[in-house]
Amino acid sequence: MAQYRESDNSAPQYWTKDPQEMISLLKSDMRGLSENEAEQRQKQYGPNSLKGKSTSSPYLLFLGQFKNPITLILIAAAILSLILQDKTDAIIILIIVLISSGLGFWQEYGASNAVAKLLQLVQITVQVLREDSPKNISTENIVPGDVIVLSAGDIIPADSIILSSQDLFVDEAAFTGESYPVEKQAGSLPENTAVAKRTNMLFMGSHVISGKGKALVVSIGMRTEFGKISDRLRLRAPETEFERGIKKFGFMLMQITLILIILIFAMNVLLHKPILDAFLFSLALAVGLTPQLLPVIITVNLSAGAKKMAAQQVIVKRLAAIENFGSMNILCSDKTGTITQGQVKLYKATDIDGKDNEQVIRYAWLNASLQQGFKNPIDQAVIQTYQNTEKTMPQVLDEVPYDFIRKRLSIMLSIDGKATAITKGAFKQIMEVCTFIQKDEKTILPLSDVYRTELENQYESFSREGYRTLGICWKNSETHTFSKNDEKDMVFLGFVTFFDPPKESAIKAINNLNGLGVKLKIITGDNALIAATLAKQVGIQDAVVIKGSELQSMSNEALMAKAARADIFAEVEPNQKEQIILALKKAGHVVGFMGDGINDAAALHSADVGISVDTAVDVAKEAADLVLMNQDLEVLINGIKEGRKTFANTMKYVFMATSANFGNMFSMAGASLILPFLPLLPKQILLTNLLTDIPETTIATDNVDESYITKPHRMDINFIKRFMLVFGLLSSIFDYCTFGVLLLMLKTNEQQFQTGWFLESVISAALIVLVVRTQKPFFKSLPSTPLWIANLVVIIVVLILPFTPVGKLFGFVELPARFYGYMTLIVTAYIITADYIKRWFYKKLASNY
């Protein structure tokens, strides 16, 4: 038989083949591939990824710096100028464009490398067999023919065929839309079996709910069923609110700029200035006025923020989420491990009368230790507490794994020669299947309404004391099989109670969150009494509690209103977590969700910021935007602060670009109309742009005012427009003052005017950075050392440039000493006025910012 090639379009319909036949086709083995064979297949098939090969190679990243259409037109115009006339000017323009693009490349390449290293810390792995030895490898390194070993919480890394399974239930909702787990078993199926009915197959995009199994990988990457049908997975992740805002801002500024550039070019032609010079001037002006470095600055800021957050034990998987993290004003979280210690301990095992009972703890231990599904903290607590003295373990006859619909786990054992089913689960769900109670070792009575009320009172009593309470029931059977339908007419045996004490740091952490303008909302499957008791213990007084049963009867509008006021959502179903998140988002909040469980993936996807922990199941880590290396609210608080610093520094660049660039636009438009020559040559404009960009590339290192960090901020286009108009016009006023000095007082010629304005323009732009970077008086908020140094270097270079041979190439000349005195007065007046206007602006026009 010919070898099966995964890349071949004529690949066999593998669901029709038995496992051994597929192993032969794939030249694999039940013991797995050898290391050498796996390496060869990785080279042949490439990475197991829906994104394809990485496009962030150094060469492509460098070429990407030239994708701005205005830059490309400018290069073409410079080449045309090189052919037709001024070779020196054209070469200078091309060199400046290359230096500017190189600066962007250097920053972005360093950022992408830093982020790639961070992502390796939270890489999703899968266990494979390598010559019968288990080994954890990255999911991207999976190849056809690999034998993967799966258990609850694992992500299915590729399309695979089942080799063996034990109560293996898989959630295929992301793939088929079906919310109920599907049982998977080895075997072959007819050729016409629909994808959703292929129970012998595992598909990329799904994850294991319970049980365990082994599977043979048959398709990877874009050749999986998920890859074939999901075009949207080839695209970027959905844009964040910040990304949309930045795009709108850039588009708005570009529109205004292009309109003015066209007008300036037309006016210069009408004034009979050389057409090629006017064209180059207009293009250079467009490059100088558009926020060309904005994408690079954002990437650099975000990667720098990601590195700082990593130092705070927060690993960023998706850079764009940092901005949302800083903007977050509501954090939804389960209580376990964040508010509580996450170390569940057994409190008591009692009968229906509330007395300690050996049979209750033994049956709970048998259920917990012999079940083959996911070992959760509750099972571990039972196993660790019970002192087993039995020499031989009962034989396991059958099992019905736990799921989040039934909230029960049943296991059938052979006990004293009888087939006995033991079921453990949430109290209410256990009561649903019981019709009898065990009064003592020999007495079994019908579950009357009186007994039912007594049991419910005991349950509520335990809950009010803060204990999580499960029920235990059993029944004997004539058969050795047991299914969900057999969970009926059972005997209620007793209660198993657990406690998970709150962290000592929880009260302080919750207060700190409130101080940062972030409200914590607890979402838990536990009952309302337990949740309310815990809330009191951590300082949340008079907590507003909404039960999952109440959510079912609420309209979307009612949920939006009530969700914002609630402190706790208790007794919620897994799908209701997502419902709560979406309601809060529709109400206008930026919502974070912290989860680590199998059933948290949908809520993590829906939140503005999905947060998980390093110890979470794979499906939760894969869905999250951020992963905490330490499951503690204090770690989260430090991450929020770093997220806000990153947001603040990104916005500083936006403010700088608007205050300097928009002002220059007005100044250039006016000057080009009143002067008989170009106010600045194209090469001078580009040099101005380059020199003002250099300090701004250090903005990621800048200090942020503590007052800014204390509340969340959001991207506000209207605010930016107001800032742009106020500070752009202010910048123009002092530019026209400079024009007046140069033309009226110093009677300068063309070259002197261009030199004088170049000096004033760059120096004022460098110094205005110190003003707009803070809401405080600029002398009360010091910038970072790199920002100081970069600005100082640029100012020194600009001052000495007219006296150097390089300055002569750019058309600069020496100026009379009087000009420097006038310029000092103008720039000083500009900085002082801008600082005063800034404080007025934030007080009158942006009081909420």
Tens-digit pLDDT profile for residues 616-655:
777 777 778 888 887 777 888 888 888 888 888 888 888 8
**Long-range contacts, stretch 243-246, CB < 8 angstroms, 24+ apart:** 243/320, 243/323, 244/715, 245/715, 245/716, 245/717, 246/294, 246/298, 246/654, 246/715
Q: Which fold has domain 314-341+503-629?
A: Rossmann fold (3.40.50)
Q: Which fold has domain 65-112+238-308+640-844?
A: Calcium-transporting ATPase, transmembrane domain (1.20.1110)
Low-confidence winner among 478-487, 582-591, 694-703 (lowest mean pLDDT): 694-703
pLDDT number for residue 183: 84
Q: What is the pLDDT of residues 507-548, one digit of tens each?
A: 888 888 889 999 999 988 888 888 888 888 888 888 888 988
pLDDT number for residue 828: 96
Q: CA 671 to CA 232: how far, in whole Å?
A: 49
Average pLDDT value for residue range 401-429: 90
pLDDT band of residue 231 (cuts 50, 70, 90) is very low
Average pLDDT value for residue range 679-702: 82
| Strand pairing category for 609-613 and 591-594 | parallel
pLDDT number for residue 757: 92
Q: CA 340 to CA 61: how far, in whole Å?
A: 46
Helix, strand, coil percentages in the chain from 3-state DSSP, rounded to 5: 55, 15, 30
pLDDT number for residue 240: 66
pLDDT band of residue 102 (cuts 50, 70, 90) is low
Q: CA 845 to CA 842: how far, in whole Å?
A: 6
Of the candidates 204, 210, 141, the residue with the CA atom closest to the CA atom of residue 182 = 210
Average pLDDT value for residue range 319-337: 82
Whether pLDDT at 113 is above 50: yes
DSSP 3: P
Is residue 615 helix, strand or coil?
coil
Low-confidence winner among 159-173, 311-325, 441-455 (lowest mean pLDDT): 311-325
Domain with CATH 2.70.150.10 in the chain: 14-51+125-234
pLDDT number for residue 452: 95
pLDDT number for residue 178: 56
The residues that are catalytic are: 334
pLDDT number for residue 817: 93
pLDDT number for residue 613: 81
Average pLDDT value for residue range 296-318: 79
- Model pTM? 0.72
Whether pLDDT at 428 is above 80: yes
Q: What is the pLDDT of residues 188-210, one digit of tens each?
A: 888 888 777 888 999 887 888 77
Domain with CATH 1.20.1110.10 in the chain: 65-112+238-308+640-844
Low-confidence winner among 179-183, 469-473, 661-665 (lowest mean pLDDT): 179-183
pLDDT band of residue 7 (cuts 50, 70, 90) is very low
Whether pLDDT at 54 is above 50: no
pLDDT above 90 coverage of the chain, percent: 29
pLDDT band of residue 351 (cuts 50, 70, 90) is very high
pLDDT number for residue 87: 67
Whether pLDDT at 69 is above 60: no
Low-confidence winner among 20-24, 185-189, 612-616 (lowest mean pLDDT): 612-616
In contact, 580 and 551? CB cutoff 8 Å: yes
Q: At what angle do helices 377-385 and 358-370 cross, to 10 degrees?
A: 130
Low-confidence winner among 118-132, 369-383, 585-599 (lowest mean pLDDT): 118-132
Whether pLDDT at 790 is above 80: yes
pLDDT number for residue 763: 94
pLDDT band of residue 232 (cuts 50, 70, 90) is very low
Structure tokens belonging to residue 77: 């115009």
Average pLDDT value for residue range 569-576: 83
Whether pLDDT at 678 is above 80: no
Average pLDDT value for residue range 143-161: 89
Amino acid at residue number 214: K
In contact, 624 and 593? CB cutoff 8 Å: no
Q: What is the pLDDT of residues 748-786, one digit of tens each?
A: 999 999 999 999 999 998 898 889 889 889 888 889 999
* DSSP H/E element including 444: strand 444-446
Q: What is the pLDDT of residues 655-666, one digit of tens each?
A: 887 777 778 777
pLDDT band of residue 2 (cuts 50, 70, 90) is very low
pLDDT number for residue 584: 93
Length of the chain as a residue count? 849
Whether pLDDT at 465 is above 80: yes
DSSP 466: T
Whether pLDDT at 166 is above 60: yes
Average pLDDT value for residue range 105-119: 57
pLDDT band of residue 101 (cuts 50, 70, 90) is low
pLDDT number for residue 53: 47
Provide the mean pLDDT of the chain.
82
Low-confidence winner among 170-174, 465-469, 830-834 (lowest mean pLDDT): 170-174
pLDDT number for residue 96: 63
Low-confidence winner among 397-406, 486-495, 563-572, 735-744 (lowest mean pLDDT): 397-406
pLDDT number for residue 177: 53
pLDDT number for residue 235: 40
Q: CA 520 to CA 593: how far, in whole Å?
A: 10
In contact, 767 and 779? CB cutoff 8 Å: no
Whether pLDDT at 73 is above 60: no
pLDDT number for residue 98: 72
Q: CA 254 to CA 334: how far, in whole Å?
A: 45
Domain with CATH 3.40.1110.10 in the chain: 345-499
Amino acid at residue number 248: K
Low-confidence winner among 296-300, 381-385, 484-488, 546-550 (lowest mean pLDDT): 296-300
In contact, 320 and 302? CB cutoff 8 Å: yes
pLDDT number for residue 700: 83
Domain with CATH 3.40.50.1000 in the chain: 314-341+503-629
CATH class of 14-51+125-234: mainly beta
**Long-range contacts, stretch 111-120, CB < 8 angstroms, 24+ apart:** 111/299, 111/300, 111/302, 111/303, 111/304, 112/56, 112/61, 112/299, 112/303, 114/303, 114/306, 114/307, 115/303, 115/306, 115/316, 115/319, 118/306, 118/307, 118/310, 118/315, 118/316, 119/315, 119/317
pLDDT number for residue 170: 85
Q: CA 619 to CA 153: how far, in whole Å?
A: 6
Q: Which residue has the higher pLDDT, 120 or 286?
A: 286
Q: CA 203 to CA 150: how far, in whole Å?
A: 13
Q: Which fold has domain 345-499?
A: Calcium-transporting ATPase, cytoplasmic domain N (3.40.1110)
